[in-house]
Structure 1
Amino acid sequence: MKLERTVNTMSDVKDTSVTAPPTDTEKAAEYPSNQIGIESMRKHVDSNDPDEALKLVSGEAIVLTPEDEKQLLRKIDLHLMPLLCVIYGLNYLDKTTLSYASIMGIKTDLNLQGQDYSWIASIFYFGYLFWEWPTNRLLQRLPLAKYSAFNVIMWGLTLCCLAAVKNFGGAMAVRFFLGAFEAAVSPGFALFTSQWYTKKEQGTRVGWWFSFNGWGQIVGGCVAYGIAVGTEAHPISIKSWQLVFLVTGLFTTFMGFLFLYLMPDSQLNARFLTQHERIMAVERIRINQQGVGNKHFKWYQCKEAFTDPMIWAFVLFSVISAIPNGGMSNYFSQLIVSFGFSENMSLLLGVPGGAVQVISLLVAGHFGDRFKNRILFGAGGVLVSVLGLFLILLVPLSNSAGRLAGYYLYQCVSTGFVALLGLISTNVAGWTKKTTAAAMYLIAYCVGNIIGPQVFQSNDAPRYRNANIVVLVCMCVSFAILLFINFWCKRENRVKAAIRATPGYTKLDGQEFLDLTDRENPEFIYSL
């Protein structure tokens, strides 16, 4: 595959800005992206602030054969994916250790009353919310891998501190800082994915590393069960829930140091690639129209993020879908106990739920990329979760197996969230806009997760029927939002096609690496 660039002049761009779009879509002239696309590109392309990758590929004539690209992709996957997957699995495991601790004695030992446990669950996301915007700015400004590794190390050490808390206040403080350090993970991993992989590859890769949430639940359930049973048979000087925090925290810290040593900040300093392979790695993602990074904050891109209907649809989905996540991730062990199972058995019975999540994410990611519509396949998983909630609510209390099956089906819910997290990588261009959109998405995620545990009221235990009804409604609304986003992206692609068909329109030299936003770049095509 030969990748070529066409040299154009700025006058070419000026001509296109005054030419009316042709049309099978006369409405194209009314769309915001039509004005932003040409005029904004003309305004900002002379800013002499291109993507970092432009320095690497400028003047190079690169030819990538299918064999070369396949071999390079395999090499990238081998060096990046294991690290991203394991760290993201720990990110989920470290959050759910509180759920395991809730049935291992932490409530009694800390003398938690009423909604105290719910507030300890919610305070994590206050820390996440407090630091989400600054951490996204730092992800853009600082070396990506090094800053991400710092946060992994710090959240591992902070998790260890939970083993030392003696009361409600101490647990609240530690959980707040745990949330602050974990705030960098999802936006950082979305940036890694967008800078290394083409659009058609990103859905599958996001599905891979996010699916390790399920592996985190599988491993966490087995570890917690082993610790609970082991400490009962052979008592030690610390409580079983304290040991859970120490084991997972210390292993996370170790993986943080490994991440610091092995993970490159971008293609430009990847030690596992030769100099020629670095250039090839940048060239292969030229098709994304996004580049690999720009460290300068651009206010116009920030403003565009705040005025983009697609971004606000992402935000609304994030807050609505996070309400169930915030509740279920902290209460699933107690919910399984309410089905009629013992406390130790509930630790093991949470494991298949993790397996369902892994399978659903991998299937949705694979078929979403294969049929080029991640949104609809993500929405399909949300529908399956709705079915699961109906089982939990409607199956008789005596049918423990049926209600447990409903909980397992609910675990397909992550497909919608992952589809949109992947679309932040593929459908948002301009590095300031991308980091701003990621911050908005995850701030909304925090708000939803803060609300979620409060939906599970102590006086509604053990069945939590009202909470499950709220979760069901949220899933139905989330499904509708996904359908709207699918419609909007198709509409915007028609507008861009009309702009590109305008007589006199020509692409700029190196346009892919000029750090243009998705709305100002007519060559940008939204993925579904």
Structure 2
Amino acid sequence: MTDTSTAAGTASSSEERVSKDAEKREARVQPPREVPPENQVSQHAHDADEAMKAFEGLDGQPIVLTEADNKRLLRRIDWHLMPLMCMVYSLNYLDKAVLTFAGVMGVQEDLNLKGDNFQWLGSIFHIGFLLWEYPSTLLLQRLPLAKYTGACILLWGLVTAALAGTKDFAGAAANRFLLGALESAVTPAFVLITSQWYTKYEQTTRTAIWFSFAGVGQIYGYFLAYGILIAERKNALAIEPWKALTLITGILTMAFGAWFWWVIPDSQLNARWLKKEDRTLAVERVRVNQQGIGNKHFKMYQFKEALTDLTTWAFALYVCVAFIANGGLSIFYSQILVSLGYTPEKSFLVGTPIGVILAVGTLVLGVLGDRFGERLLLSMIPQSIAIIGMTLIVALPPTYKVVRLVGFYTLGSTVGPLMIMIGMLGTNFAGTTKKTTVAALFIISMSVGSIIGPQVFRPQYAPEYVLPKICVIVCWSLCLVDVGFLRWYYRRRNQKKAEARAAPGYFKVPNQEFLDLTDKENPEFTYQV
């Protein structure tokens, strides 16, 4: 009997070992779950998004957002946010581009710039931008979002005006460094504000609206510089023309910075121009984003996820190579036009259409992207047009002046694809720490490209800059490859998430949208393509 029991026990143990071995083999062949189970999602409830405060005291009562209320709120939000964001972003472009206009207004002679000093003034701006970008992004998360941004706008307006008081390269370099550091806040801040107030189906259009005003800034920058030069020719200026330009733009920026500080709220929760019940509805309407409106706590696991997410580095690579091209061109636009045979004054007027193309093209691309849901695919069209335009400038001889000018105008179309990528920082990354980390890395990569860009346009390549222009074509071609990869990768991720949601036993946690989950953690999150 004992032998029989022992044998049975041995057989049973053997079967258990076989069963466990089978389970281990099955576990090894099972693909890893990208979507966590219910308990892993629920563990974040103790440190949820700020949006949860909007629902305190409701005792579980359902919030009904009618279509009429949604449209009414959207109109009110648009009228309070968009005009100011547009004007500030146009000044953001104009203040950093002051150096571009000053380059043909006498700044090099007045500051006694030698050799590659002018190129370095372009790069030093982006060094300041680079070094302060990540600390600035952390402050955007920890401090009141709009108040910190408004302070930065006021201060960079002051620094822009102060450029008029510089006497040499050292003073101008210090000024540009500070300007870069202060302007580093605006793009990530605007991405956060847009994702905070608008649904993922509205964000590309809104991003396009405020981003297109970089083109508007370019337009009135050209006209302002032209008017100042004409006034100088008529002896109507008491100071050098480039100094008049920096003072006007700096004072204008300070005025809008003060307005921004007063009008723009830090979130829906403290919007003075919304009634209490509308504040709750304004939060409810962005539930579809699966992101919330922000969390003030730094989360290390989200930071690590941002660093290990392949798409983070795809975005970083894109913007770096794009700004090696754009960073160089933005400083040398006026010089390139002069190389095509135009006088400094005429270059300002002839260059104006590129700002129109930038503004209109960006806006149209944003609207079409939201309408057809193919943002990345559509962005490849203007990028390809710009490559053809730059090829015309390089390949054709100077006698083809009009055709080369048309090629120059197509360069403004590259800003639209960049807008799409910036908009996707808001729609395709979730979890406040992860989103701000990715935004910081994106802007840091932009700064690296912008530092390299002006150095590509070395003095020895003047006046035609043939080799730098070829470098621009190569960079834009790499951008096309990067965008193609992202489109394929996001579609693959969306398919896996759909399969996970359709799996038996899937359970959605109540208010999962507002638990400050990352895009990878949240099974309900879908990526925009």
Q: 1: distance between equivalents of 2:191 and 2:421?
A: 11
Which one has the largest radius of gyration? 2
CA contact (8 A) 1:387 1:410 kept: no
1:319-375, Cα deviation, whole Å (9 max, x unpaired): 010111111111100100110011101111221100000111011111111110111
Identity across aligned pairs (percent)? 47
Cα pair 1:28 1:495 within 8 Å, conserved: no
Q: Report what 1:121 is aligned to.
A: 122
What secondary structure does 1:435 align onto? helix
Q: CA deviation at 1:30?
A: 3.7
| Structure 1 residue identity aligned to 2:52 | L
C-alpha deviation, 1:238, in angstroms: 1.1
Shift of 1:55: 1.7
Partner of 1:168: 169
Partner of 1:354: 355
Aligned twin of 1:510: 511
SS for the counterpart of 1:294 is coil
Secondary structure of 1:45 counterpart = helix
How far has the Cα of 1:46 moved from its partner?
4.2
- Are positions 1:158 and 2:132 aligned together? no
Indicate conservation of the 8 Å contact 1:379/1:415, yes or no: no
Contact 2:45 2:515 (C-alpha < 8 Å) held by counterparts: no
Native 8 Å contact 1:45 1:514 kept in 2 = no
Question: Which residue pairs with 2:192 in the alignment?
Answer: 191
Q: Which residue pairs with 2:55 in the alignment? A: 57
Tell me, in whole angstroms, the C-alpha distance in 1 between the residues paired with 2:284 and 2:488.
31
Alpha-carbon distance change, 239 to 301 in structure 1, aligned in 2, over 3 angstroms: same
CA distance in 1, matches of 2:340, 2:431: 48
- Indicate the residue corresponding to 2:373 in structure 1: 372
* Aligned amino acid, residue 100 of structure 1: F
2:108 is matched with 107
Q: Unmatched 5+ residue regions in structure 1?
A: 1-19, 21-26
**Alpha-carbon distance between aligned partners in 2 of 1:52 and 1:60, rounded to the nearest angstrom:** 19
Structure 1: how far apart are the matches of 2:515 and 2:124? 40
Q: 1:123–1:450: 8 Å Cα contact kept in structure 2?
A: yes
CA distance in 1, matches of 2:364, 2:141: 32
Partner residue, 1:251: 252
CA distance in 2, matches of 1:319, 1:299: 26
Instruction: Measure how far apart 1:29 and its partner are.
Output: 5.7
Distance 2:379 2:212 in 1: 13
Question: Counterpart in 2 of 1:522?
Answer: 523
Q: 1:29 to 1:184 in 2, by over 3 A?
A: farther
Alpha carbons 1:339, 1:400 under 8 Å: kept: yes
Deviation string, structure 1 residues 279-323 (Cα, Å, up to 9, x no partner)? 111001000000001000000000000000111100110101011
Q: Deviations over 1:422-472 (max 9, x none)?
A: 011000000000000000000000000000000001111111111100000
Residue 47 of structure 1: CA displacement?
Answer: 5.5
Distance in 2 (CA, whole Å) between partners of 1:333 and 1:451 is 19
Deviation per CA, 1:102-139: give whole Å up to 9, x if none. Answer: 00000111111221100000000000000000000000
Q: Which amino acid aligns with 2:528?
A: S
User: SS of the residue aligned with 2:36?
Assistant: helix
Deviation (angstroms), 1:377: 1.3
Deviation at 1:40, TM superposition (A): 9.6
Determine the structure 1 residue equivalent to 2:12: none
Deviations 1:162-219 (A, max 9, x none): 1111111111110000000000000000000000000010000000000000000001
8 Å Cα contact 2:354-2:412 kept in structure 1? yes
Would you say how many aligned residue pairs link Structure 1 and Structure 2? Answer: 501
Equivalent positions of 1:364-403 (< 5 A) are 364-403=365-404
- After TM superposition, list the pairs within 5 Å mapping 1:458-477 onto structure 2: 458-477=459-478
Deviation, 1:44, is 6.6
How far apart, in 2, do the equivalents of 1:251 and 1:443 lie?
27
CA distance in 2, matches of 1:80, 1:412: 26
CA distance in 2, matches of 1:243, 1:273: 40
Q: Is the 8 A contact 2:306 2:312 kept in 1?
A: yes
The answer for the alignment partner of 1:429 in structure 2 is: 430
Q: Is residue 93 from structure 1 mapped to residue 99 from structure 2 by the alignment?
A: no
| Partner residue in 2 for 1:341 | 342
Query: What is the rounded CA distance, in whole Å, between the counterparts of 2:45 and 2:515 in structure 1?
Result: 9
Deviation, structure 1 residue 67? 1.7
1:12-31 matched pairs, under 5 angstroms: 30=31
Q: Report SS of the residue matched to 2:520.
A: coil
How much does 1:42 deviate?
A: 0.5
Q: Classify the secondary structure of the residue corresponding to 2:96.
A: helix
Structure 1-normalised TM-score?
0.93
Q: Deviations along 1:238-281, whole A, 9 cap, x unmatched?
A: 10000100000010011000000111111001111111111111
CA distance, structure 2, for counterparts of residue 173 and residue 28 of structure 1: 59
Report the CA distance shift for 1:443/1:395 in structure 2 as closer, same or farther (over 3 A). Answer: same
The 3 A distance-change label for structure 1 pair 116 and 125 is: same
Find the aligned partners of 1:298 and 1:71 in 2 and give their Cα distance.
36
Q: Is 1:317 equivalent to 2:318 in the alignment?
A: yes
Deviations along 1:27-73, whole A, 9 cap, x unmatched?
99646xx34x3069707734511001112125342212222211111
Alpha-carbon contact 2:41-2:509 (below 8 Å) kept: no
CA-atom RMSD, angstroms? 1.7
Q: How does 1:37-56 map to 2 (within 5 A)?
A: 37-38=35-36, 42=40, 45-46=43-44, 48-56=46-54
Contact kept in structure 2, 1:99 and 1:333, CA below 8 Å: yes
Give the aligned residue type for 2:48.
P
Q: Distance in 1 between matches of 2:523 and 2:411?
A: 40
- Cα 1:227/1:501, change in 2 over 3 Å: same
Q: 1:389-440 CA distances to partner (integer Å, 9 max, x unpaired)? A: 1111122212222111111111100122111110110000000000000000
* Structure 2: segments with no counterpart, 5+ residues: 1-22
| Correspondence 1:174-253 to 2 at 5 A | 174-253=175-254
Q: TM-score, normalised by structure 2?
A: 0.93
**Could you tell me how far 1:237 is from its partner in structure 2?**
2.8
Higher mean alpha-carbon deviation, 437-446 vs 385-394, is at: 385-394
Q: Aligned-pair distance for 1:234?
A: 2.2
Name the stretch that deviates more: 231-240 or 487-496: 231-240
- State the one-letter code of the partner of 1:38: P
Contact 2:49 2:516 in 1 (8 A): yes
Distance, in Å, in 1 between the alignment partners of 2:392 and 2:122 is 26
Deviating 4+ runs (over 4 angstroms): none
CA distance in 2, matches of 1:102, 1:352: 20
CA distance in structure 2 between the aligned counterparts of 1:447 and 1:389, rounded to whole angstroms: 23
Residue range with higher mean Cα deviation, 52-61 or 124-133: 52-61
Conservation of the 8 A alpha-carbon contact between 1:416 and 1:482: no
